[in-house]
Amino acid sequence: MAAAKSFITLLLFISLLSLASCLSSASETKFKANVTVSNGLAFGFYAFVCPQVEILVRNHLLQVFNRDVGQAAGILRLHAHDCFVQGCDGSILLDRSVERTELPNLSLRPESIQVIDTLRQIVHSQCGPVVSCSDLLTLAARDSVFFTSGFDYAVPLGRRDGVVFPRPGQTFEDLIAPNAKTTEVLTKYARKGLNLVDAVALSGAHSIGIAHCSSFSERIFPNRDPTMEISFFNSLRQVCPAPNANGIASLDIRSPFRFDNFYFIDLMNRQGVFTSDQDLFEDLRTRPTVITFAASQPLFFSSFAVAMTKMGSVEVLTGAQGEIRARCNVRNSDVNDLEPVVEKDIASSSAM
């Protein structure tokens, strides 16, 4: 098993190097979702004030993923958790926000959060403080898909960073729990203006990533969830031999390091880790979409890009709203020695 994982990781590393050689021409091959984006967002938003922002982000992430490809899943999850709670405003990045301390977000990867602030340092050093942390997170989530699949899509930019913390308990209200059934999943997506196809497509982000035993223990203890295939159950019980075990399992057993449509094949074989995943196949409303995505990776990719574009427009701050944070983990008003980047950015925006 270890040798197989090493071989897969080597193949992925080679793929990343191959993708890197295509960075200069990537903008010519991006899929662009045909959806209405929020007022204030635009494709090519930074064309005049920071035209190199996307290549700066992509070059740094190439290095990050070469060291640890697991950060791709961490960044994708970070982006989704940010957008679902109070909109895509970068509030998930704030150290003092209750959003970070509530249970649904305790397993977010600190390294993924640091990656975004490092990107902020790189971009601000080249362009000045004109690119928001929320936009950098959006770009990093897109590139997490690109570097693990080769699929590239354009994202509209122009978000501003939030200055208000979410209220206590909001993460529980907005985020999808691992044990959620499809009705709850669809309801929470609908609140954000996302439909059934969007919900199934975005669940496909679990094509990469890991799960801790605590997030699916109720499916294997005290007995096997009847919707779980027996050999898959046995393998999970090896990873998690007791209800309080702290092992981890891949969310996609067929291609855990590659973003693809095998996740949906897992569900058809009743090998989904979370209840929220497996129930998408068990529920007759979402089963046809699962089967369709399992049969067509291009259709899954294009639907995922559409859903990500729509999710990335949820309750965004634009124009004179919010701010451009000088540091992603703290609001500008909370740091006494920062230069007034908000006023500088407003001038840049006016010029643009």
Rounded to whole angstroms, the Cα distance separating 347 from 49 reads: 11
Paired tokens of 112: 């993924």
| Residues noted as catalytic | 81
Residue 165 is encoded by which pair of tokens? Answer: 């913390």
Tokens of 239: 């990873």
| Alpha-carbon Rg for the chain in angstroms | 20
Query: Is 252 assigned a ligand-binding role in the annotation?
Result: yes
Q: If we measure between CA atoms, which residue out of 276, 344, 311 comes closest to residue 141?
A: 311
Cis before 51? omega within 30: no
Phi, psi dihedral angles at 248 (to 5 degrees):
-130, 150
**Cα separation, 285 vs 301, whole angstroms:** 21
Q: 87 among the known binding-site residues?
A: yes
CA–CA distance, 25 with 56 (Å, rounded to integer):
14
Q: Are 182 and 280 in contact (CB under 8 A)?
A: yes
Q: Is 145 annotated as a binding residue?
A: no
Any binding-site annotation on 184?
no
Query: Roughly what angle, to the nearest 10 degrees, separates helices 297-311 and 287-295?
Result: 120
Q: Does 91 carry a binding-site annotation?
A: yes
Is it true that the peptide bond before 288 is cis, omega within 30 degrees of 0?
no
- For 347, the token pair is 């001038």
203-213 burial, b if ≥16 CB within 10 A, otherwise e?
bbbbbbbbbeb
Under 8 Å between Cβ of 207 and 252:
yes
Q: Is 125 marked as a binding-site residue?
A: no
169 is in an annotated binding site: no
Round to whole Å and give the CA distance between 97 and 61.
26
Closest CA to 92 of 60, 58, 189, 101: 101
Q: How far is 323 from 304, CA to CA, in rounded Å?
A: 29
Task: Name the phi and psi angles at 276, rounded to 5.
Answer: -60, -25
Annotated binding site for Ca(2+): 82, 85, 87, 89, 91, 99, 252, 260
Annotated binding site for heme b: 206
